[in-house]
Amino acid sequence: MAYYSTVLLLLYLSWVLSFSLVCSQNDLPVKAASIGNWLLIEGWMKPSLFDGIPNKDLLDGTQVQFMSTQQKKYLSAENGGGKNLIINGSSASSSETFRLWRINETFFNLRVSNKQFVGLENEGQGSKLVAVSTSPKSSEIFQIIRKEDDKNRVHLQASNGQFLQVKSDADITADGNGSSWDDDDPSVFTMIIGSGLQGEYQLTNGYGPDKAPQIMKDHWNTYITEEDFNFMSQNGINAVRIPIGWWIMYDPNPPKPFVGGSLEALDNAFKWSEKYKLKVIVDLHGLRVSQNGFAHSASRDGFQEWGSSDIQETVDIIDFLAKRYANQPSLLAIELMNEPRSPGINLVDLKKFYKDGYDAVRKYTKDAYVIFSNRLGGDLKELISFSNSFSLVVIDIHMYNLFWMGFDNMTVQQNIDYIYNNRGSDIKSVSDQGPLIFIGEWTSEWDVKNASKEDYQKFAKAELEVYGRASFGWAYWAYKCDEIHWSLKWMIENRFIML
Ligand SMILES: *[C@@H]1O[C@H](CO)[C@@H](O)[C@H](O)[C@H]1NC(C)=O
Ligand SMILES: *[C@@H]1O[C@H](CO)[C@@H](O)[C@H](O)[C@H]1NC(C)=O
Ligand SMILES: *[C@@H]1O[C@H](CO)[C@@H](O)[C@H](O)[C@H]1NC(C)=O
Ligand SMILES: *[C@@H]1O[C@H](CO)[C@@H](O)[C@H](O)[C@H]1NC(C)=O
Ligand SMILES: *[C@@H]1O[C@H](CO)[C@@H](O)[C@H](O)[C@H]1NC(C)=O
């Protein structure tokens, strides 16, 4: 009897063991949807979220230029910053461009291209304007007063109550009276609004502390619901990739302008994923100090500044996430940092962070995958040998047939060939080198104009086939988006994509 029980036990154990191995293999490759614009705002995916913001064309990070109507020349930071403001030239480039830091709907700091803030040289009457301080003080706040019937004609009121005026090319002072809107008034400027950002910083700071909490709460509760997790599980999706921002670790009271509540939403995502048998990839997308300058890094003003002194605080966020979710059965992976951008992010800092972030995850779980994003613009193999000293590590590479001039005029067939040839050989070149490979972002949108449904279907089929060769799998960008071809939900419902 003892013999038979032992045999039975062994049989049972080997069955359990093989079953669990099969189970974990079944998680891969993932066919995932990125739930973008849910816990981390990207305005282009749902622009109407910004509609209720007063002066919504003047958000944090908006790049503006000021042309003196009298001189017909642009206000400029001499040498790009560190010196006086001057008037230099009748055309504008980086030295003539100011990035807004919004205090409220009409008050702003102005950040110049060398990153200093515009302010007064002294508090006295007739003070010169300078761009020297590296963190903004109260004397570095300006009110942008727009003309009622011509929003791009402005006065700039300094903290001393006086108005900026141009006395001569090298003499910009805060002692104008702002009494007229005439062209020949030295305190009148034409404001040219350039590119801006529409990320979570802009949204929450734009609405301000009174309105932002409700706006965000409504968004979290309506943009994605349990029904979406059901939909995914019914339609061939087996995992979700969820971009989040750094402030989630301070929930429910994150530093301003961010508001609390995204942590509860992420908890719900885990609950629903378990119910509908989806795996979860938690993806740290937004850092306090931007790793790429994009709105989706939650950057305030578009400067990419992440570096060695920001490693520890970024590891702390990973530690927080790993600790909280390590025992969730749906947790598949933690992605340490989305899209670090080369050359601004150097490999030495990045590898140090990846090592420390990996160790933080391993403090809580041996089973979760740890995802290292390749640098945007970096060599596809630059992390391969480094990654081989860890276990269950994945390299994330994003593949869009967009954002490069070479795609501008490609035909349908050229786009498809590019997937099979270029993307196919890229994936082959990094496969079987050690780490698993994840095509963590792609979409079936492209630069082809007015393509037919059949064109999109052929393109999506090629992408699914080639990206399906990646050992860890892929994630479509995004699950849901106002731009229909970026919405996997729409693409599935309308049979553009068949999984
Ligand atoms: C004035 O503008 C020109 C052209 O943009 C630039 O080369 C030059 O350095 C600027 N001068 C100063 C003093 O900033
Ligand atoms: C906006 O900020 C300025 C500068 O801090 C302050 O003086 C003003 O009262 C604020 N306005 C509103 C409407 O909060
Ligand atoms: C305001 O300043 C302008 C330019 O210096 C001057 O011509 C005008 O007389 C001043 N107006 C008042 C009301 O002081
Ligand atoms: C694409 O075509 C447009 C219009 O024909 C042309 O202006 C542009 O230079 C082309 N771009 C590239 C990258 O070839
Ligand atoms: C695409 O279609 C629109 C509307 O039918 C048309 O105005 C436009 O010229 C087309 N563009 C191209 C590149 O064919």
What does the DSSP assignment read for 186-211?
A: TT-EEEEE-----BHHHHHHHHHHHH
Q: CB within 8 A of 328, min separation 6: which ones?
A: 270, 274, 280
Cβ atoms of residues 254 and 298 within 8 Å: no
Higher pLDDT, 270 or 24: 270
Residue 3 lies in a domain: no
Cβ atoms of residues 109 and 100 within 8 Å: yes
- Same domain (yes/no): 101, 210: no
Q: What is the reported pLDDT for 19?
A: 41
pLDDT band (50, 70, 90) for residue 23: very low
From 125, 179, 181, 185, give the residue whose CB has the most ligand 3 atoms within 8 Å, as the site to mutate. Answer: 179
Which residues does ligand 5 sit against, CB inside 6 Å? 449-450
DSSP bridge partners of 107: 143
Residue 31 lies in a domain: yes
- Give the ligand with the smallest distance to the CA of 452: 5
**28 vs 57: CA distance, rounded Å:** 44
β-strands 98-102, 189-193 pairing: unpaired
pLDDT band (50, 70, 90) for residue 26: low
pLDDT band (50, 70, 90) for residue 265: very high
DSSP bridge partners of 465: none
92-117, pLDDT tens digit by residue? 999 999 999 999 999 999 999 999 99
Residue 449 Cα: closest atom of ligand 5: 13
Question: Is 366's pLDDT higher than 50?
Answer: yes
From 95, 171, 172, give the residue whose CB has the most ligand 1 atoms within 8 Å, as the site to mutate. Answer: 95
Question: Is 301's pLDDT higher than 70?
Answer: yes
Total domains in the chain come to 2
Percent of the chain predicted with pLDDT > 70: 95
Residue 56 lies in a domain: no
Which residues does ligand 1 sit against, CB inside 6 Å? 76, 78-79, 88-89, 93, 95
Residue 141 Cα: closest atom of ligand 2: 4
- Same domain (yes/no): 149, 214: no
The length of the chain is 499
Q: What is the reported pLDDT for 467?
A: 98
Residue 428 lies in a domain: yes
- Same domain (yes/no): 458, 363: yes
Picking from 61, 113, 96, the residue whose alpha carbon sits closest to that of residue 192 is: 96
Domain span holding position 73: 63-193
* Cα separation of the two ends of the chain: 51
Looking up tokens 């990996």 gives 358
Atom 8, ligand 5: which residue's CA is nearest?
450
Atom 3, ligand 4: which residue's CA is nearest?
409
The SS3 assignment for 298 reads coil
Cβ atoms of residues 42 and 202 within 8 Å: no
Residue 58 lies in a domain: no
From 55, 105, 107, give the residue whose CB has the most ligand 2 atoms within 8 Å, as the site to mutate. Answer: 107
Helical ranges in 27-74 per DSSP H: none
> What average pLDDT score do residues 207-212 get?
98
pLDDT band (50, 70, 90) for residue 126: confident
**488 vs 447: CA distance, rounded Å:** 18
- Same domain (yes/no): 182, 44: no
Q: What is the reported pLDDT for 27?
A: 83
C-alpha gyration radius of the chain: 26
Question: Is 16's pLDDT higher than 50?
Answer: no
Question: Is 15's pLDDT higher than 60?
Answer: no
Q: Which of 153, 176, 193 marks a domain boundary?
A: 193
What CATH code is carried by the domain that includes residue 394? 3.20.20.80
- Same domain (yes/no): 37, 86: no
Which residues does ligand 2 sit against, CB inside 6 Å? 103-104, 107, 141
Q: What is the reported pLDDT for 128?
A: 94
Question: Is 465's pLDDT higher than 50?
Answer: yes
- Same domain (yes/no): 337, 204: yes
Helix axes 226-234, 262-275, angle to 10 degrees: 40
- Same domain (yes/no): 143, 35: no
- Same domain (yes/no): 262, 323: yes
Give me ligand 4 centre to Cα 50, in Å: 33
**53 vs 312: CA distance, rounded Å:** 35
Residue 313 lies in a domain: yes
- Same domain (yes/no): 289, 174: no
416-440, pLDDT tens digit by residue? 999 999 999 999 999 999 999 999 9
Q: Which of 162, 193, 224 marks a domain boundary?
A: 193
Residue 91 Cα: closest atom of ligand 1: 5
Give me ligand 4 centre to Cα 448, in Å: 12
Buried b / exposed e over 370-396, threshold 16 CB at 10 Å, is bbbbbbbebeeeebbebbeebebbbbb
Q: Which of 193, 218, 241 marks a domain boundary?
A: 193
Residue 7 lies in a domain: no
Give me ligand 5 centre to Cα 301, in Å: 35
pLDDT band (50, 70, 90) for residue 13: very low
DSSP string computed for 16-29: HHHHHHHHHHHT-S
Residue 15 lies in a domain: no
